[in-house]
Structure 1
């Protein structure tokens, strides 16, 4: 059994402390008032040189004049508030991206694990314990992401503009999506997804451990059945999750391929982490029955899904280009 060395434990604790201080620092340095936000933007423009600063200043002045002429002081105030909200979002968005990324690694590994169980693959059982260990992060990672989503619903941040009633009131497109994009339904969906993913992980892990002590293959058969059922749930929930948690950050842009984008990213990242952990454990003298063929199989999956990821992104971008629909470029920008 692998145990963490004291040196690795200390290094992990130090990195967690540094990360926590970084998060706290990001929130502390975020502007608290409109005046602070304007000062921050002004200092940022000055730091980019005179030419760039002059250009930015000219653009800002032109925009201010246009705003003043068309909408008056009320719109100017709204613009200033939007600037403040955007700058206050920075530490939230950094935290959210990191929380989402690492949770998706665990979820990608869980999907790979379920596929191996449902396919009854002969090469991968030696790696099941590695996969189960990585997916253990799904519980704390899922809680962190859910808390951020909950705080968004409580208007502690402005990551999702469709949660702002004032914005929706002046946006016909968001009004048309309000039956789906509403805070209560949003949180209910998130809770269902997390419960399903974590529930499968915990139950499958329990059956996996029980199989080691069993004299028959009843646990193996049950694990096969629930893994096949979970994959159906996963395909549906993962697609909806990608629309909810990422695509709805920019609700005016949408893609029917977006669920596949997220899937390909998490899948290849998860498989890569499986390979890295396996190679590390092999270097410590563990997993003696895992050989080069197992690593080679993981590498083939990594290569194949990387090509699939590239195919999705390039194909859609090429579609946007030759159809000349620049409004679709929002996400890429």
Structure 2
């Protein structure tokens, strides 16, 4: 049962210590060094798929052969762009899902989460950092990552003309002339992340302003955030699906899935829940959030457990329906990941299901497991790594083809983004009180018991 008579300090603030800052800066530095070293080794043919050095060099030469419509194979530079794109998309979704969690709590009039809401609020601060990464990567490497950007695909009469991709030109380009500048696509990227961030800043502003209220019966800021939260939930529901089509599904331009928006949502949402759980447990271990009890942890464990099963349902439904129907435009996506591309990704498909379904399902099945910090930490870390692998399998086969793998470049990029995310998250967390002390339902959260 919750401790009813304990007095908690609701004015506590998180201190982003110099020691932690130093560790994160070192982590970013090591990640950058590994990334650069990975690129150099890839050009030398080391860690670049199943190919030898001379084949890597040959692929690099082919990168210049666009004039005649001959689309090149993957190069080490393509793999760099793919890694930047993968991590940019993955951490953008985690940041946005943190905002979604807060918005849902407001809309649902949830009281249990009042003590941990500031932790989730800090996620959105990373959005201004991933948006430039995505834009720069697209302008520098979009021609390598996205097949639909090649203009000769839209020119009738050419051997490279692709009627399927040409039929989708209106979704990418504006004006609608085939092969024009992908303004429509880019406007969506900027608008989605921009609106997510603007709504996030409004939520944060109202949440912090509520801390300074002297009238405990003044719920004006809370009511405003309920409205903003409802707007965010509706807009995000629509824009997240379209962003999944734009940022991930369009990599395999011929392929489509009507469930893909839900699939990306499920993977991103449970990843954000895992990060939230890790952050809450970390803060408790450092002496913060004393009012967060095993009942709150139990709820976080239930969320991870439930949405791991939800992700599995979406994964199986998408895979089963497309594999059973055996339509060429649909099945080629799965063939590339199962048997094609020299079998590079075949083990990852199996690992994907084991890590993202069996592991959390078995580990969090019991009530006690959901209430123990060590179990939650292990499961949350496994889920986070598993869904990073999930995004890896979504992005890499369509970009680097059979030259995929997990070597220094991949390790370095992941370290760089992960440490940067934690740094920005911790910085935001330290800017205001760690507890939304004037939250109308704070008493319910303090006495939360299930």
Length-normalised TM-score, structure 1: 0.81
Q: 1:180 corresponds to which residue?
A: 171
The aligned residue for residue 147 of structure 1 is 136
* Residue ranges of structure 1 left out of the alignment (5+ in a row): 47-73
Which residue of 2 is the match for residue 43 of structure 1?
Answer: 52
The yes-or-no answer on 1:14 pairing with 2:4 is no
Structure 2 unmatched ranges of 5 or more: 1-12, 56-64, 156-160, 174-181, 338-450
CA-atom RMSD, angstroms?
2.6
Residue 26 of structure 1 and its aligned partner are, at CA, apart by: 4.2
The aligned counterpart of 1:200 is 199
Give the structure 1 partner of residue 152 of structure 2. 166
The offset of 1:109, in angstroms, is 1.4
Deviations 1:23-46 (A, max 9, x none): 3334445659xxx9xx99762699
Give the TM-score of the pair, scaled to structure 2: 0.61
Q: Is 1:270 equivalent to 2:272 in the alignment?
A: yes
Matches within 5 A, 1:115-130: 115-130=104-119
- Alignment size in residue pairs: 295
- Of 57, 73, 82 in structure 1, the residue corresponding to residue 72 of structure 2 is 82
Q: Report SS of the residue matched to 2:170.
A: coil
How far 1:135 sits from its partner (Å)? 2.0
| Highest RCO, 1 vs 2 (Cα 8 Å, sep ≥ 6) | 2
- Superposed displacement of residue 159, structure 1: 0.6
Partner of 2:99: 110
Write the distance in 2 (CA, Å) between the matches of 1:113 and 1:310: 24
Shift of 1:97: 0.8
Q: 1:5 to 1:317 in 2, by over 3 A?
A: same
Query: Residue 36 of structure 2 corresponds to which residue in structure 1?
Result: 24
Q: Greater helix percent: which structure?
A: 1
Counterpart contact for 1:107–1:266, Cα < 8 Å:
no
Cα distance between partner residues in 2 of 1:302 and 1:119: 19
In structure 1, the residue matched to 2:321 is 319
**Per-residue displacement from partner, 1:162-195 (whole Å, max 9, x unpaired)?**
1111233311111111111221111111111011
Relative to structure 1, is the Cα distance of residues 322 and 250 closer, same or farther in structure 2, using a 3 angstrom cutoff? closer
| Counterpart for residue 279 of structure 1 | 281
User: Is residue 224 of structure 2 the alignment partner of residue 222 of structure 1?
Assistant: yes
Looking at structure 2, the residues matched to 42 and 276 of structure 1 have their Cα atoms a distance apart, in angstroms, of 39
Q: Which residue of 2 aligns with 1:248?
A: 250
Q: Is residue 27–residue 91 contact of structure 1 (8 Å, CA) maintained in 2?
A: yes
Residue 301 (structure 1) aligned with residue 326 (structure 2): no
How far apart, in 1, do the equivalents of 2:188 and 2:147 lie? 18
